[in-house]
């Protein structure tokens, strides 16, 4: 039996608790990796947003020029002599008969009047300075009359205003008054003729030469083209345009005189000057006014060298050759649309396939005739990335001949807006 005093009690040893896993450290590691991944993704997403959007580009679809459609006018040119026809501000309707200098008879007086009025300008209705007929000038009248010249009666000491003297030159085509005016202006006929030729050179009348202020001398020669150049300049002088449009005038000594140009007042004709000699035949420089689209347009032409046995026949033939030209020009000049409202004139390409169009907001019209070349220009401001639909944006203009441009506004098509953030991110992938 064992002794109780010596009995040894052995206490049970509890088991060791299991080791704790490092959950906190693992979570921190995972969280860090996720943060890095998200940051990298954010950088990838933000990267394309850092770059500025490219500006929209505009591509023109409208041609730089066009020809007015239709059949070009057929001008009924005279069968003989020379002719030229021009529309002020628009250009030439053509010429016929070549460009060789020929005698021009009293058409030379257009230059005489032009030189006088450029050196002694007159306003509308003004009479200007006075000139007195000398005894020698009056004494020459009987001999001039015997030669069959075109004249106005004068007397020694008779006083004419500048306007009256010009009326005598331009209406009944007075040779003697052309010489009187020349001497009054330049001191001598020779000095005045030099002024006439200098002026012709300044105006670019390369095939023109004057030998006298009246045109009686067949040495005064020109062409239809050159005379149209001069007539266009002369008709810009108010006093000249007033005088040549008159059918008659009252002068000292001579009384009432009539305009030799019987076309004045018919078919819109407002001048300018007749001429006739055996060497020159029947000649006429003319101007007419056509009303088109609310505008007054001047047609200027010249017909030279129409045959005939005497002045009445020559003038009748030149008038008959001129009337069809005037009427043809009047019928040819009309209003033509060159761009219609709604016509596309340009496309706009924005970033990432965004875009719109630009079109005419209203009709753009010009005055002219079929076959005429028209220049088309556009002024389109820089296009922003955001542009509403049907927004006014620029203008289109057209130029026909030498006229000032006419314009019409432009508008956008569909709304132009920048691509969304998501579209930019997707496009970068």
- Give the orientation angle of helix 175-186 with respect to helix 189-202, to 10 degrees: 90
Mean pLDDT of 405-429: 76
CA distance 223 to 83: 8
Place of tokens 């761009």: 339
CA distance 359 to 389: 11
Residue 36: pLDDT band with limits 50, 70, 90? low
Check residue 67 and give its pLDDT: 93
List, for residues 39-61, the tens digit of each pLDDT value.
555 445 455 555 676 778 889 99
- pLDDT of 160 higher than 50: yes
List, for residues 236-246, the tens digit of each pLDDT value.
999 999 999 99
CA distances from 302 to 5, 213, 371 (A): 162, 19, 22
Which of 86, 96, 150, 173 is the catalytic position? Answer: 173
- pLDDT of 35 higher than 80: no
CA distance 79 to 89: 28
Check residue 221 and give its pLDDT: 98
Mean of all residue pLDDT scores within the chain: 89
List, for residues 337-363, the tens digit of each pLDDT value.
999 999 999 998 877 677 899 999 999
Place of tokens 């007929």: 133
Whether 96 is a known active-site residue: answer no
Assign 42 to helix, strand or coil.
helix
B/e letters for 171-184, b = 16+ CB within 10 Å, e = fewer, are bbbbbbbbbbbbbb
The secondary structure element, H or E, covering residue 47 is: helix 23-50
Mean pLDDT of 394-422: 85
Q: List the Cα angle 85/88/89 in 5-degree steps.
A: 130
For each of the domains in the chain, give its residue range(s) and CATH number, in order of start: 57-69+337-428 (2.60.410), 91-332 (3.40.710.10)
pTM higher than 0.85, yes or no? no
Tell me the two tokens of residue 229: 């150049």
| For the chain, percent of residues with pLDDT exceeding 90 | 75
Mean pLDDT of 404-412: 91
- The residue ranges of DSSP E strands in 115-268, in sequence order, are 130-132, 159-161, 221-222, 248-251, 255-258
Residue 403: count of CB within 10 angstroms of its CB? 18
CA distance 108 to 209: 10
Check residue 5 and give its pLDDT: 45
Assign 49 to helix, strand or coil.
helix
User: Please, are residues 267 and 319 in contact by the beta-carbon 8 Å criterion?
Assistant: no
Check residue 404 and give its pLDDT: 82
Contacts of 93 (CB under 8 A, 6+ apart): 73, 75, 85, 86, 87, 328, 329, 332, 369
B/e letters for 350-376, b = 16+ CB within 10 Å, e = fewer, are bbeebbbebbbbeebbbbbbeebebbb
Check residue 19 and give its pLDDT: 54
Whether 106 is a known active-site residue: answer yes
Whether 248 is a known active-site residue: answer no
Check residue 384 and give its pLDDT: 84
Residue 42: count of CB within 10 angstroms of its CB? 10
Tell me the two tokens of residue 61: 């679809």
Higher pLDDT, 43 or 152: 152
The secondary structure element, H or E, covering residue 273 is: strand 269-277
List, for residues 165-201, the tens digit of each pLDDT value.
999 999 999 999 999 999 999 999 999 999 999 999 9
Tell me the two tokens of residue 77: 């040119």
Mean pLDDT of 60-65: 92
Higher pLDDT, 235 or 385: 235
List, for residues 269-314, the tens digit of each pLDDT value.
999 999 999 999 999 999 999 999 888 999 999 999 999 999 999 9
Which of 96, 109, 233, 276 is the catalytic position? Answer: 109
Assign 402 to helix, strand or coil.
coil
Check residue 37 and give its pLDDT: 59
37-41, 245-249, 331-335, 341-345: least confident range: 37-41
The secondary structure element, H or E, covering residue 318 is: helix 311-332
Which of 86, 106, 220, 222 is the catalytic position? Answer: 106
CA distances from 317 to 288, 305, 348 (A): 19, 10, 61
List, for residues 127-149, the tens digit of each pLDDT value.
999 999 999 999 999 999 999 99
Mean pLDDT of 393-419: 88
Contacts of 390 (CB under 8 A, 6+ apart): 411, 412, 413
CA distance 374 to 54: 35
Check residue 4 and give its pLDDT: 44
Residue 116: count of CB within 10 angstroms of its CB? 28
The secondary structure element, H or E, covering residue 96 is: strand 91-96
Check residue 38 and give its pLDDT: 57
Residue 3: pLDDT band with limits 50, 70, 90? very low
CA distance 381 to 348: 12
- pLDDT of 83 higher than 70: yes
């Amino acid at each position: 039996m064992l002794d109780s005093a010596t009995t040894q009690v052995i206490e049970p040893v509890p088991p060791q608790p299991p080791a704790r896993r490092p959950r906190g450290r693992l979570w921190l590691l995972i969280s860090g990796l996720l943060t890095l991944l998200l940051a990298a993704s954010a950088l990838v997403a933000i990267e394309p947003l850092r770059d500025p959007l490219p500006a929209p580009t505009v591509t023109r679809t409208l041609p730089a020029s066009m020809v007015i459609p239709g059949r070009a006018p057929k001008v009924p040119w005279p069968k003989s002599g020379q002719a030229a026809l021009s529309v002020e501000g628009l250009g030439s309707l053509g010429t016929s008969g070549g460009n060789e200098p020929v005698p021009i008879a009293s058409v030379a007086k257009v230059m005489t009047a032009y030189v006088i009025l450029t050196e002694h300008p007159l306003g509308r209705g003004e009479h200007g300075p006075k000139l007195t007929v000398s005894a020698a000038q009056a004494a020459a009248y009987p001999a001039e009359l015997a030669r069959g010249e075109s004249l106005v009666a004068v007397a020694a000491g008779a006083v004419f205003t500048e306007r009256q003297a010009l009326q005598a030159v331009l209406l009944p085509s007075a040779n003697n008054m052309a010489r009187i005016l020349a001497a009054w202006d330049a001191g001598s006929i020779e000095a005045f003729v030099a002024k006439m030729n200098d002026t012709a050179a300044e105006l670019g009348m390369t095939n023109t030469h004057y030998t006298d202020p009246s045109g009686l001398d067949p040495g005064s020669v020109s062409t239809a083209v050159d005379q149209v150049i001069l007539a266009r300049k002369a008709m810009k002088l108010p006093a000249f345009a007033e005088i040549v449009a008159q059918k008659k005038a009252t002068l000292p000594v001579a009384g009432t005189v009539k305009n030799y140009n019987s076309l004045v007042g018919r078919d819109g004709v407002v001048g300018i000057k007749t001429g006739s000699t055996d060497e020159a035949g029947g000649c006429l420089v003319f101007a007419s006014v056509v009303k088109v689209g609310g505008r007054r347009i001047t047609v200027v032409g010249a017909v030279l060298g129409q045959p005939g046995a005497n002045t009445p026949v020559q003038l009748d033939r030149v008038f008959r050759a001129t009337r069809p030209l005037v009427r043809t020009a009047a019928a040819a000049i009309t209003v033509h649309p060159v761009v219609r409202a709604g016509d596309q004139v340009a496309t706009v390409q924005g970033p990432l396939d965004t875009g719109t169009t630009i079109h005419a907001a209203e009709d753009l019209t010009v005055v002219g005739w079929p076959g005429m070349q028209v220049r088309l220009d556009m002024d389109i401001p820089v296009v922003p990335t955001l542009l509403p639909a049907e927004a006014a944006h620029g203008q289109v203009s057209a130029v026909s001949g030498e006229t000032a441009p006419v314009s019409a506004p432009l508008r956008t098509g569909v709304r132009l807006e920048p691509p969304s953030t998501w579209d930019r991110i997707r496009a970068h992938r």
